[in-house]
Structure 1
Amino acid sequence: MSVVPKYKGKKLYTDISGLKGMDWDAIVIGSGIGGMSCAAALAKTGMKILV
């Protein structure tokens, strides 16, 4: 399943070298009230979070 069918099977990003050295303990999808609450709770435990 693809949200944007014209990109199915194609790489949107070919160079991810800028992401080297970036490690997260959790990735939260969504920055609404639920996502931010979840991210805040995880961050309080000392985890590195990407929202």
Structure 2
Amino acid sequence: MHNLTSDLALALEVADAADAVSLAGFNARSFTVERKADKSEVTEIDRATETA
């Protein structure tokens, strides 16, 4: 049987890590916006959050 409790714990841990990175970056209000190949916008904060 799959353990949903451990999945939830992992999801919360990942969300907390991403939250810390994104809030710190956006609260600093100093970031650049780039265009991806598909013309959508991305910031270095977005990229850092993905690797948190």
TM-score by length of 1: 0.30
With the length of structure 2 as denominator, give the TM-score of the two structures: 0.30
> In proportion to residue count, which structure has more helix?
2
